[in-house]
Structure formats: structure tokens, C-alpha cells
């Protein structure tokens, strides 16, 4: 018998349902009346940073080759009887998957045959099939993918920055691994990591949009295979607070210079709460949104273009970075301006009016996101895996004060923790 817990927000006027299934799986179901489409994501807390891990039923940590999480994502769609994509095509559903630093997720979207689509999802993710021949074939395919990303300027500029910021944390390593590391992958490695990280106690299922709680749970009761209560701990080398180097430059085939500027957060054993995330979002919105003084100055000086300039807080297990990026004819002038704005804001502080305006805008944007089944399911899963809750995060925007933002800014904006990565055109006059 499943015990269904309701999570409800009177402020948002929304609710969804949570179940800890007897199999070990965490299930989140977010019905949206009047929506025609259904979106589901079945994910595991296993990403590219999980090269070293310790199982709760073992005494010693294990280190594996880089790229296994991404390799597994590719291989799970295959079976002895065909592939999951063709099964989805027959019922008119769209399927995909992706591996990030923290998670691997398998998903589908459809406007009909939702229960069949969910049954396919729960089936193939729980049915690994690896042989020497299929692994060798996939090594060639992923090797080509790695080389493709090596030639992608946007990919290179980001990872060059991460390697300038981080000494030891695997966040600096490519998600797909390297040609050398994937050459070490064997069926035994894949089954070992699958049986460790695809334990249902380490996974979650989120279904949103046109869905029924009882129907979803009945299908889960039918399809889920109970897992042993094994927990997995991520193991990382100690990461110094200091950066590796302040500048990284490279030349590639780009029309104009591109850059990524980063501020490395000193982490320690900090667990960022929902409010920490919301406060950081407000801080960055005040500092760099298209209505900010910094953005207007950069635009008026023709140092950025409106379409490419971006900023975000990029965080996870053992890492946190504020990123600013885009195209610029003079990337170092942009970075100097960002540092100057950091100094100015720290000296003057933000006002309650600044915070109220920004928080109201971000609250509205998050509320609008609750009209998208895709946004709902992925956001709910991200919060679930990080020990946070979706509604609590959105509600925090109504509670933030100037004192919260100023304290966060003081702790986060450290100029000695900044670095910049630049990709220059191959030709000087390009």
C-alpha cells in the first residue's frame, strides 16, 4: 500500500503528491488540470562527477573511469529486442535522455498513450543489456562525440574556465570523459555502476501534466523491481578555496571573441538551502539583468550584445560558481566592469526597493514555469535530489530582505576567487 503525501502551497495555489514507493523509489506526481500533454522523467543521482563513490554496504571507496554515467545513458536505450526510441515512435511519444554533472535523466512527452509511454520508461531503464560487442561499438560513437565537443567553442570556453577555477573537483572534467577513459569501460564496469547508482533508493520519478495519481502508482506497483536499501556516498578529493589560475586563453574558429567569467565559491561543508538559492538569484538579477546599471553600461559601450550576454549561479555537490558569459570585442574590459560592479555593490549595498522589484520579477517567472509540465518535472527532480522542495524555493522570493542579499554578496563576491576564460578568433582581424 502506498502512502501518498500532499505538498501544497496556499501562496502559489498549487499542489503535488509524493510517495516513497516500497521498491525504494521516490515518486512525485504533479497533475495539471486542462493540460493535454504528459511529461515524465525517470532519473538517478548519478552524473559525471561520480567517478569515486562509497556504497553503504562496502568498506572501501571505488574509483572508476571518467564517462561511465554518460556511457550508461547511451546504452540503456538498447536491448536484445531493439531500442526504446522505436517503441516510443510507435505510440507517438517523444523521448530523450541526458547526463549532467549530477544526474542522468530519461524522459518522454506525449499527448496520448501516456500510460504506455510510462510503462516503456519504467521498463527499459530497469533492463540493462551490455555485451563486449555493443560496448566496443559505443566507444567509437562516444569517441566521435567527445571530439565534436572538443571543437565546440562554447563547450571549450566553459570547461577551460572550470579548470582555471578547480584543482581537484571532477566538475572540471568533461561529462563524456575522454577518449582514453572510455576505452577502459567494460560490460563489467557498466553493470557495476548500474547496480550501484540505478538502485531505486538513489532514483526518482516525476510525472506532470495530464496524469492521474492512482493510475501512475498502479503502473509503478506493476513495473518497479524492489532494490536493496543501499545508499551511495560521493567521494571527492579536498578542494582548495584558491583558484588554479586567473586567465585561460585559446584560439578557435569563432567570428568574435567569447568569454566566461567565474567567481568560485568557497564551499566547505555548506548545504545551500532553498532560501540561499533564491537570495543568490535575486543578487544576480539586481547586478546583471537587462534592467541593471551594469548591463546598460556594457551595452552602451558596445562591449556586449544583448542576445549573447548571460549569467547564472551554477552549483552542486561540493562546488558553486557565479558565471557571466557572452561575446565581446574586449572580454577583459567586460570582466573589469563586472569586478568593479562587485566592488560597488559591496560598498553601497542593495536597497529594499531593489530586492522587492527583483524578487517580484523572479517569483512571477517561477510561477509561470508551473504552467509547463517539462519545467515542473525537471525542477521538482532537481530539488528532490538536492534535499530541497520546489514550493519552498518559490515561496522564499516573498521573504527575502536587503540584509539577506547584502550578506550573501559579502560572502560570495571575492575578487581573488575570480577567473576568466577567453576564446579568440583564429585570425587577428576576424
b/e for 308-327, b at 16 or more Cβ within 10 A? ebebebebbbbbbbbbbbbb
- What stretch of H or E contains 162? helix 153-165
Contact 418, 339 (CB under 8 A): yes
Cβ atoms within 10 Å of 153's Cβ, excluding its own: 17
Sequence-distant (≥ 6) Cβ neighbours of residue 7 within 8 angstroms: 15, 16, 17, 18, 389, 390, 391
The rounded distance, in Å, linking the Cα atoms of 375 and 209 is 10
Strands ordered across the beta sheet of 14-20: 4-9, 14-20, 26-31, 203-209, 38-44, 104-110, 94-99
Contact 171, 267 (CB under 8 A): no
Contact 136, 284 (CB under 8 A): no
Partner residues linked to 83 by β-bridges: 78
The rounded distance, in Å, linking the Cα atoms of 40 and 210 is 10
Coil vs helix vs strand at 389: coil
Given the C-alpha cell 584543482, which residue does it identify?
A: 167
Of 8, 33, 73, 395, which residue is the catalytic one? 73
The rounded distance, in Å, linking the Cα atoms of 20 and 31 is 18
106, 153, 265, 295, 359 from 415: Cα distances, Å: 39, 26, 11, 19, 26
Tell me whether residue 73 is one of the annotated catalytic residues: yes
The rounded distance, in Å, linking the Cα atoms of 393 and 220 is 28
Angle at 184 between CA 176 and CA 49, to 5 degrees: 40
Cell of 427: 585570425
Contact 376, 369 (CB under 8 A): yes
CA diameter of the chain: 69
Q: Which residues are catalytic?
A: 73
Amino acid at each position: 500500500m502506498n502512502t501518498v503525501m500532499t505538498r501544497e502551497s496556499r501562496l502559489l495555489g498549487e499542489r503535488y503528491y509524493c510517495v516513497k514507493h516500497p521498491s525504494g523509489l521516490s515518486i512525485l506526481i504533479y497533475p495539471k488540470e486542462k493540460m493535454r500533454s504528459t511529461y515524465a522523467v525517470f532519473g538517478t543521482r548519478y552524473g559525471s562527477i561520480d567517478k569515486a563513490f562509497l556504497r553503504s554496504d562496502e568498506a572501501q571507496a571505488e574509483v572508476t573511469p571518467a564517462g561511465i554515467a554518460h556511457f550508461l545513458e547511451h546504452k540503456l536505450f538498447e536491448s536484445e529486442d531493439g531500442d526504446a526510441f522505436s517503441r516510443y515512435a510507435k505510440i507517438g511519444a517523444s523521448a530523450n535522455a541526458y547526463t549532467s554533472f549530477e544526474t542522468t535523466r530519461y524522459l518522454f512527452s506525449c499527448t496520448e498513450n501516456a500510460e504506455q509511454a510510462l510503462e516503456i520508461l519504467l521498463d527499459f531503464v530497469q533492463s540493462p543489456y551490455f555485451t563486449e560487442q555493443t560496448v566496443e561499438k559505443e566507444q567509437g560513437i562516444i569517441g566521435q562525440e567527445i571530439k565534436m565537443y572538443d571543437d565546440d567553442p562554447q563547450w571549450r570556453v566553459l570547461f577551460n574556465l572550470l579548470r582555471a577555477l578547480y584543482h581537484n573537483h571532477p566538475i572540471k572534467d568533461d561529462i563524456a570523459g575522454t577518449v582514453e577513459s572510455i576505452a577502459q569501460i567494460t560490460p563489467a564496469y557498466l553493470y557495476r555502476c548500474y547496480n550501484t547508482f540505478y538502485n531505486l533508493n538513489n532514483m526518482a520519478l516525476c510525472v506532470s501534466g495530464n496524469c492521474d495519481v492512482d493510475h501512475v502508482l498502479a503502473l509503478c506497483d506493476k513495473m518497479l523491481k524492489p532494490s536493496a536499501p543501499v545508499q551511495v556516498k560521493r567521494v571527492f578529493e579536498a578542494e582548495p578555496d584558491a583558484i588554479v589560475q586567473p586567465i585561460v586563453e585559446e584560439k578557435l574558429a569563432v567570428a568574435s571573441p567569447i568569454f566566461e567569467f567565474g567567481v568560485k565559491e568557497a564551499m566547505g561543508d555548506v548545504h545551500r538551502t532553498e532560501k540561499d538559492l533564491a537570495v543568490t538569484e535575486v543578487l544576480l538579477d539586481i547586478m546583471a539583468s537587462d534592467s541593471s546599471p551594469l548591463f546598460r553600461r556594457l551595452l552602451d559601450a558596445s562591449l556586449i550584445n544583448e542576445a549573447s550576454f548571460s549569467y547564472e549561479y551554477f552549483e552542486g555537490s561540493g562546488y558553486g560558481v557565479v558565471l557571466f558569459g557572452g561575446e565581446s570585442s574586449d572580454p577583459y574590459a567586460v570582466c573589469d566592469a563586472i569586478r568593479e560592479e562587485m566592488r560597488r555593490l559591496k560598498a553601497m549595498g542593495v536597497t529594499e526597493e531593489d530586492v522587492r522589484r527583483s524578487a517580484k520579477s523572479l517569483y512571477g517567472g517561477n510561477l509561470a514555469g508551473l504552467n509547463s509540465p517539462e519545467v515542473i518535472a525537471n525542477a521538482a527532480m532537481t530539488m528532490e535530489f538536492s534535499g530541497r522542495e520546489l514550493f519552498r524555493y518559490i515561496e522564499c522570493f516573498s521573504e527575502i530582505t536587503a540584509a539577506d542579499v547584502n550578506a550573501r554578496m559579502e560572502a560570495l563576491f571575492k575578487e581573488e576567487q575570480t577567473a576568466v576564460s577567453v576564446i579568440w578568433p583564429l585570425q587577428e582581424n576576424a
